[in-house]
């Protein structure tokens, strides 16, 4: 149980954080017309992309390092508490349908486990040991990348995850929204997106949450581009698990090849609906087993497989 001295220390820490700063000019915001509040919020949000832009060198370096580990069979693991943890789980959950990754390849850990997605789990974010236990359960190893996410940059769960992963030889990234954070200092790659004080004091689900979502979008998307999960800007590893995605699959093959509907249907049927394989069947004029072999040899990179097919002619 925490003491009064602990509470004083924590309050002092919060007082020093940009994300927790009180904005006196907004003290009467609850008395403003709804349209005016919405305009203020919109103006606040407009500043977030600029803050992310300032961190692009650090973001790009982290992505290149993560992609290299994943190319060796490693995983991308997000770890955070509260809003930060939920954002990590969200980003991880979107990778299988978008990039046809296996569920274990991109993982989101939230302090307190699945119940914390919808309710607060008391004390979970304050436990570095819990983060270590969660990563041990996954068997975190040298080929993995662990991204600790915390708006404040001081959350023990996120810092504990990074410290434990680094001790296991994994690549570590610390994503926060305060400069000089303990999380960034603990990681191989520190990314600090300073968005400033929130509209509602300390409500880091707002600008900080938006900034974190933008960065996580970059980390997962660009890593997947580097791993050959796209062909140009086409999602050629999309998993067609519903009617919309099946229609999208056909459209992607059409955009990549310019083939007729009949050719597209035949190629998808021959490749069991695998978009990347179907494109290769059409563009390289090979059969489905040959396309599969070329893609295996190129580690899933469609451009490399096409080049290999052309050299083989």
Answer left, alpha or beta for residue 109, where phi above 0 means left and psi between -120 and 50 means alpha.
beta
Say if CB 250 and CB 279 are below 8 A apart: no
Which residue from 220, 231, 211 is spatially nearest to 274, judged by alpha carbons?
231
How far CA 233 is from CA of 12, 246, 252, in Å, comes to 47, 18, 10
Sign, CA dihedral 163-165-168-171, equals: negative
- Two tokens at 250? 């056909």
Choice among 20, 44, 105, 125 that is catalytic = 125
Which residue from 295, 280, 283, 276 is spatially nearest to 237, judged by alpha carbons?
276
- Two tokens at 230? 């796209």
Active-site residue, 142 included: no
Active-site residue, 94 included: yes
Other C-beta atoms closer than 10 Å to the C-beta of 173 total 29
10 Å CB burial of residue 38 (0-12, 13-18, 19+) is exposed
Residues noted as catalytic = 94, 125
């Amino acid at each position: 149980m925490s003491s009064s001295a602990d509470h004083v220390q924590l309050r002092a820490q919060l007082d020093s954080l940009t994300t927790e700063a009180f904005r006196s000019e907004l003290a009467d915001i609850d008395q403003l017309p709804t349209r005016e509040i919405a305009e203020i919020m919109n103006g606040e949000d407009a500043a977030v992309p600029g803050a992310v832009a300032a961190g692009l060198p650090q973001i790009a370096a982290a992505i290149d390092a993560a992609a290299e580990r994943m190319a060796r069979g490693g995983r991308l693991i997000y770890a955070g508490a509260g809003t930060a943890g939920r954002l990590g789980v969200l980003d991880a959950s979107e990778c299988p349908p978008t990039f046809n990754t296996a569920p274990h390849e991109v993982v989101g850990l939230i302090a307190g486990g699945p119940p914390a997605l919808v309710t607060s789990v008391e004390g979970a974010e304050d436990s570095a040991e819990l983060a270590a236990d969660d990563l041990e359960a996954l068997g975190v190893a040298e080929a993995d990348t662990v991204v600790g996410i915390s708006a404040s940059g001081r959350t023990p769960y996120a810092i504990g995850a990074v410290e434990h992963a680094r001790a296991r030889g994994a690549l570590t990234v610390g994503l926060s929204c305060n400069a000089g954070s303990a999380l960034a200092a603990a990681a191989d790659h520190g990314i600090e997106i300073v968005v400033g004080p929130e509209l509602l004091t300390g409500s880091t689900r707002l600008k900080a949450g938006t900034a974190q979502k933008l960065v996580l979008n970059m980390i997962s998307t660009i890593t997947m581009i580097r791993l050959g999960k796209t062909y140009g800007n086409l999602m050629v590893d999309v998993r067609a698990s519903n009617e919309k995605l099946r229609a999208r699959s056909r459209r992607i093959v059409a955009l990549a090849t310019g083939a007729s509907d009949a050719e597209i249907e035949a190629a998808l049927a021959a490749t069991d609906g695998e978009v990347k394989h179907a494109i290769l069947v059409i563009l390289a004029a090979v059969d489905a087993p040959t396309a599969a072999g070329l893609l295996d040899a190129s580690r899933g990179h469609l451009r490399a497989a096409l080049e290999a097919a052309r050299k083989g002619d």
